[in-house]
A and B are shown apart, each in its own frame.
Chain A
Amino acid sequence: MKIEQKRINRREFIALSSAAGAAGLLSSIPGAAQAADFPSRKMQTYIPTRAGGGADRNFRAFSGVWSKHLGIDFEPGFFPGAAGRVGYETYMAKAADDCHDLIFGNMGPEVLNWVVKKPSFDLGAYQYIIQVDADPGSIFINTNSSMKTIDDVIAEGKKRTLTVATSRLAHPASLGMLVLAAKTGMKVNLIPLSGGKNTRNGVLTGETDLGVLPATTVMGRKNINILGLFDEKIVLPDRMPKAIAINTEYKLGLPPLAAGARAFGIKTSALDKHPDRYAKLIETAKMTFADPAYAEAVKKAKAPIEFIAEGYADQCKAYFDDITAVGKEYKDLLTG
């Protein structure tokens, strides 16, 4: 079932890929015929957050179906710590560049993290290749709060400093909140509670005035109202009847930065060495998105299928650049 032939394969394929030429841009390699004996071992996936979190949920849904099309199992390894830094550093240090080792993370907070503090490796040394979801950032509130709308929140925030629960400081949802505060003149104090569940509980116990999180984490939860999304439209109006599209409503001048934008990444050197394998990964990922079993798996994981966002290297790159630009603009606020 799983043969560990790492060394032999690597040598063979160095020869193969040098014959094919070191292709820089890889999306146009036709067919996957050369990658016939790929994958030859379990796909090791590094996840830079804790097991049981949002990334874990999306990973299981996608890899469960993807493994069918790729013909091999995925094995996740969880490397939480320092806002994803540990996972990425471990991946860059330990992963083989034979296309069997991937990283699966949430691009938003993790890229923002690089804006705040650069990692030890070069940012070009890895790239995201397959995006699986776009989960908008939301502002949510305890149902028994006196504030019922975003306008209420802003009015209150002009009177006193509001405490806002968030997963991390360097997070697209935090960023959205900071931009909203800056544009409307209200005062907020972000309270990072590490992780969706803690953030939700911070609002539920009444310890903070409100919270910001990817919408999936709070949608349909008891005693929680979603007041708005950091987006240009409300994808699921019936699941969050009170929500408004904050980006357009308050003219934030932000691109729609999904707070949850989970994606598979890979070492750039692996892509350079094995364009054929990369092509096979993309081809099978496309088959996965097209497979009705995937939508089923997402539903089963209690994530809305409306947030599935099929994207590849280009879309990921665009997101990466957008969030880096906005992050740089508000860097001072993110570190406070």
Chain B
Amino acid sequence: MEIDLSVLPSLFVEALAYWWVIIPATVLGIVVGAIPGFSAANTIIILLPLTLSMSAEAGMIFMVAIYTASRLGAGIPAILVNIPGTAGAAATPLDGYPMSISGRGQQALAISFTASVFGGLLTTLMALILIPWLSQVAFHLHSVEMIVVMLFGISLIATISADDTMKGLIAGLFGLMIGYIGADVVYEAPRGTFGFLELYDKVPLIPALVGLFAISEAFVVIERRVVLSESDDGIKVAPGWSATLEGIRDTLVRWKHVVWTGMLGLVIGVIPGAGAAIASFVAYQQSRIFSKTPELYGTGHVEGLIAPESANNGVTSGTLIPLLIIGVPGGATAAIMAVVLEYHGVQFGPDLFESNPLVGYGPFVAMAITYVLLGLLILPLTRYFSNVLVVPTIYIAPIIIAFTLVGSFVPRAYVFDMGVAIVFGIIGYIARKTGYHVAAILIGVILGPLLENFFLRALRISQGDLMTLFSSNIGNVLWVLLIASLFAAPLKRRLAGR
């Protein structure tokens, strides 16, 4: 298959024609990203009915713009009040909050935005150039190798997403079992369906994610009077432009730093399961190791703020690559995008870039455009963000519940699916309250049917020979890497603990 990049300019023009989607999504993404707990994933879920009613292209661009913008938004509370909006911004307050306390809050915001926009734009363009080559890889993957890739996805998510590996594994495996519900692809025999015809075609993903993320979050959030914690008097942002400009300058003179931490984020993002949280910590850590002034980190050091922000924006494009090429989402938000795109009949795989270039390349093009718009939009708005944090939960929780429940009805028009959302809401709530990661369950639910399909297929092709799992060279290399990665994390922790 020859690689044709000449479609890209026209794709940029086509994607630009969706400005009416990008601009509101950008604003919305920033605002919602700033509300702790309401990550990009949750925003997309809340707006699900809207996304589903758009075309696949418009829906994709809309989601990507929200995703990108909310990444930036999440930095706001991280810097101002020491509460990261999402896990991906978890490393941001390390140096952002100290800056804020010392009265350089707006400067810190400007640094974070500039690093995000710059890092994000760069890695997005890199992804665009690399993806045709990367997609060739998928043409060499058979069921046997795909089984290991799926296990990578599930294992990494389980080990990384929770602070407690054992709980992470239990959540992930529980998700996998739930994902196994439905009729199998070979014999069409219903399994684990509780007798419901509605579950023959697997657990419906949109209700599952509505329940796990939105409804459980609504249950949790009503514990607090406002979305933010009760005592949030620390929000102080000095008005005026000079701090903003200074922040931009601070970042741009450290452009090399932005570039390499962004690239790090991109690479980590491509690995299924290793999301923004790990990328920002790795980038922060690496940045400190290679710094000439490691002692300044944690005291409000500019580079300590650039590293996680550039990296977690690099993840944004990286995480979409495995999704579009082999259908394995790189992270929770990508998983949700997968669900919506599947609803629109988009079939992932290397030929997506030929059969539907706007959906294939579109996300990256849209992302690039979003970053440019973000740069223009967010910097002047820096001063007004703090107000977002004090929305009373008594209003927001019911609205989220109502809209997401109806959103889970839309794809199949089954009342049953709203019941599924409620059941998953309860499971998700219990999981959240007891330290199990809902994202691990969701990834399991998504990867379960894929894993099982490939497994069944491999066994059918080999006529029931289990040794087929170790019959391919690529597969065997992947097995070794998988086992290494499984043991690396606990080993590292043990060493670090000493």
Residues of A within 8 A of B (CB): 50-53, 56, 77-83, 85-86, 89-90, 113, 117, 161, 163, 168-170, 189, 191-195, 197, 201, 204-208, 222, 335
A82 to B198: give the CA distance in the assembly, Å. Answer: 11
Q: Is the CB of B188 within 8 A of A83?
A: yes
Q: List 18 A-B contacts (CB under 8 A).
A: A52-B346, A52-B347, A53-B345, A56-B345, A78-B412, A81-B183, A81-B202, A82-B190, A83-B188, A85-B200, A168-B188, A192-B460, A193-B457, A197-B347, A197-B351, A201-B349, A201-B351, A207-B143
A306 to B448: give the CA distance in the assembly, Å. Answer: 41
Chain B contacts with A in 452-483, Cβ cutoff 8 A: 453, 457, 460-461, 463
Residues of A within 8 A of B188 (CB): 82-83, 85, 113, 117, 168-170
Query: B84-92, B134-142, B368-376: which one contacts chain A?
Result: B134-142
A79 to B343: give the CA distance in the assembly, Å. Answer: 11
Tell yes or no: B125 within 8 A of A by CB. Answer: no
Cross-chain contact of A77 among B140, B198, B351, B412 (Cβ < 8 A): B412
Residues of B within 8 A of A204 (CB): 139
Tell yes or no: B182 within 8 A of A by CB. Answer: yes
Q: Is the CB of A163 within 8 A of B461?
A: yes
Q: Is the CB of A51 within 8 A of B142?
A: no
How extensive is the interface on chain B, given as a class?
20 to 34
Residues of B within 8 A of A85 (CB): 183, 188, 200
A204 to B350: give the CA distance in the assembly, Å. Answer: 11
Residues of B within 8 A of A191 (CB): 457, 460-461
Q: Which residue of A lies closest to B139 (CB)?
A: A205
Chain B contacts with A in 303-335, Cβ cutoff 8 A: none
Q: How far is the CB of A322 from chain B (nearest CB, A)?
A: 22
Q: Which residue of A lies closest to B182 (CB)?
A: A81
Residues of A within 8 A of B413 (CB): 77
Residues of B within 8 A of A77 (CB): 412-413
Q: Is the CB of B185 within 8 A of A192?
A: yes
Tell yes or no: B1 within 8 A of A by CB. Answer: yes
Q: Is the CB of B463 within 8 A of A205?
A: no
Q: Which residue of A lies closest to B458 (CB)?
A: A207
Q: How far is the CB of A157 from chain B (nearest CB, A)?
A: 15
Q: Which residue of B lies closest to A202 (CB)?
A: B457
Q: Is the CB of A205 within 8 A of B457?
A: no
Q: Is the CB of B347 within 8 A of A90?
A: no
Tell yes or no: B186 within 8 A of A by CB. Answer: yes
Q: Is the CB of B197 within 8 A of A86?
A: yes
Q: Which residue of B lies closest to A195 (CB)?
A: B347
A222 to B413: give the CA distance in the assembly, Å. Answer: 38
Chain B contacts with A in 153-193, Cβ cutoff 8 A: 182-183, 185-188, 190
- A to B contact number (C-beta, < 8 Å): 77
Q: Is the CB of A205 within 8 A of B200?
A: no
Q: Is the CB of B346 within 8 A of A161?
A: no
Q: How far is the CB of A210 from chain B (nearest CB, A)?
A: 13
Given A53-B345, A191-B457: A80 touches B185 (CB 8 Å cut-off):
no
Tell yes or no: B246 within 8 A of A by CB. Answer: no
A56 to B345: give the CA distance in the assembly, Å. Answer: 9
Q: Is the CB of A81 within 8 A of B200?
A: yes
Q: Is the CB of A208 within 8 A of B461?
A: yes
Cross-chain contact of B141 among A79, A194, A205 (Cβ < 8 A): A205
A163 to B468: give the CA distance in the assembly, Å. Answer: 15
Residues of A within 8 A of B141 (CB): 205
Residues of B within 8 A of A193 (CB): 185, 457
Chain B contacts with A in 434-462, Cβ cutoff 8 A: 453, 457, 460-461
Tell yes or no: B236 within 8 A of A by CB. Answer: no
Q: Is the CB of B463 within 8 A of A161?
A: yes
A90 to B453: give the CA distance in the assembly, Å. Answer: 25
A193 to B454: give the CA distance in the assembly, Å. Answer: 9
Tell yes or no: B344 within 8 A of A by CB. Answer: yes
Given A81-B182, A191-B457: A86 touches B201 (CB 8 Å cut-off):
yes
Q: How far is the CB of B293 from chain A (nearest CB, A)?
A: 51
Q: Is the CB of A52 within 8 A of B461?
A: no
Q: How far is the CB of A264 from chain B (nearest CB, A)?
A: 20
Q: Is the CB of B200 within 8 A of A189?
A: no
Q: Is the CB of A189 within 8 A of B201?
A: no
A222 to B345: give the CA distance in the assembly, Å. Answer: 22
Q: Which residue of A lies closest to B202 (CB)?
A: A81
Given A52-B347, A56-B345, A86-B197: A189 touches B142 (CB 8 Å cut-off):
no
Residues of A within 8 A of B351 (CB): 197, 201
Q: Is the CB of A82 within 8 A of B142?
A: no
A51 to B344: give the CA distance in the assembly, Å. Answer: 7
Residues of B within 8 A of A117 (CB): 188
Q: Is the CB of A82 within 8 A of B349?
A: no
Residues of B within 8 A of A194 (CB): 185, 453
Q: How far is the CB of A64 from chain B (nearest CB, A)?
A: 16
Q: Is the CB of B183 within 8 A of A82?
A: yes
A84 to B185: give the CA distance in the assembly, Å. Answer: 12
Q: Is the CB of A81 within 8 A of B345?
A: no
Residues of B within 8 A of A201 (CB): 349, 351
A291 to B413: give the CA distance in the assembly, Å. Answer: 33
Best-surrounded residue of B141, B344, B347 (most CB of chain A within 10 A): B347
Residues of A within 8 A of B201 (CB): 79-82, 86
A78 to B183: give the CA distance in the assembly, Å. Answer: 17
Q: Is the CB of A207 within 8 A of B461?
A: yes
